[in-house]
Amino acid sequence: MEKIISSPRGTSDILPEEVLGWQFVEKAARRQFLYYGYREIRTPLFEETELFARSVGQTSDIVQKQMLNLAAQGAGSDADDMKNSLLSLRPEGTASIVRSYIQNNLDKKERLSKWFYIGPMFRGERPQKGRLRQFHQIGVEAIGPDSGSPYLDAEVIGLSVCILRESGVDDFNLKLNTLGTLEDKENFSKYLRSVLSSRLDALCPDCRNRYERNVFRVLDCKNKSCKEVVKDLQLDYSYLSETSRNYYESVKAALDSLGIVYQEDPRLVRGLDYYTHTVFELSCSRLGSQDALGAGGRYNHLVKELGGPDVGAIGFALGMERMLLAKAEDATLKSSPVQVYVVALDEKFFPRAFQLLQFLRKKEISADINFSSSGLKSQMRQANKSGAGFVAMIGEEEFIQGKVTLKNMADGSQEQILLDEAEKIIKIVKEPESPRAREFEKL
Q: Which residues bind ligand AMP (CB under 6 A)?
A: 92, 123, 125, 130-132, 135, 137, 292-295, 317, 319, 321-322
Strand 390-394 relative to strand 340-344, pairing: parallel
Q: Which residues, other chains included, contact 368 with Cβ-Cβ below 8 Å and sequence gap of 6+?
A: 338, 340, 341, 342, 357, 386, 388
First to last CA, the chain: 42
CB of 440 to ligand AMP, least distance (A): 30
Which of residues 123 and 298 has its CB atom nearest to ligand AMP in the complex?
A: 123
Q: Give the three-class secondary structure for 341.
A: strand
- Amino acid 38 reads Y
Integer Cα distance of 26 and 317 in angstroms? 13
Given a contact cutoff of 8 angstroms between Cβ atoms, the answer to whether 284 and 172 are in contact is yes
By beta-carbon proximity to ligand AMP, the closer residue of 123 and 210 is 123
- 325 versus 426: smaller Cβ distance to ligand AMP: 325
Closest CB to ligand AMP among residues 317, 393: 317
> Are 216 and 276 within 8 A, CB to CB?
no
Nearer to ligand AMP, 137 or 339 (CB): 137
> Shortest Cβ contact with ligand AMP: which residue?
319
CB of 237 to ligand AMP, least distance (A): 23
- Cβ neighbours, 10 Å, residue 267: 15
In angstroms, the Cα distances linking 107 to 102, 117, 144, 313 are 8, 19, 6, 12
- Which residues, other chains included, contact 385 with Cβ-Cβ below 8 Å and sequence gap of 6+? none
42: closest CA among 94, 137, 141, 118? 118
Helix (H, G, I), strand (E, B) or coil at 393: strand
Q: How far is the CB of 321 from ligand AMP (least distance, A)?
A: 5
Q: Give the start-end residues of each E strand in 38-149.
A: 39-40, 46-48, 69-70, 87-89, 113-122, 134-144
In the bound state with ligand AMP, the residue whose beta carbon lies nearer, of 60 and 339, is 60
CB of 100 to ligand AMP, least distance (A): 18
Name which of 90 and 252 has its Cβ closer to ligand AMP: 90
| Shortest separation between residue 47's beta carbon and ligand AMP, angstroms | 15
Nearer to ligand AMP, 86 or 292 (CB): 292
Return the number of the residue (211 or 274) whose C-beta is nearest ligand AMP. 274
CB of 132 to ligand AMP, least distance (A): 4
Whole-angstrom Cα distance, residue 408 to residue 389? 6
Q: In whole angstroms, how close is the CB of 25 to ligand AMP at the nearest point? A: 12
* Nearest distance in Å: CB 293, ligand AMP: 5
Taking the complex as a whole, the smallest distance from the CB of residue 318 to ligand AMP amounts, in Å, to 6
Amino acid, res. 287: L
- Alpha carbon of residue 241 to chain centroid: 35
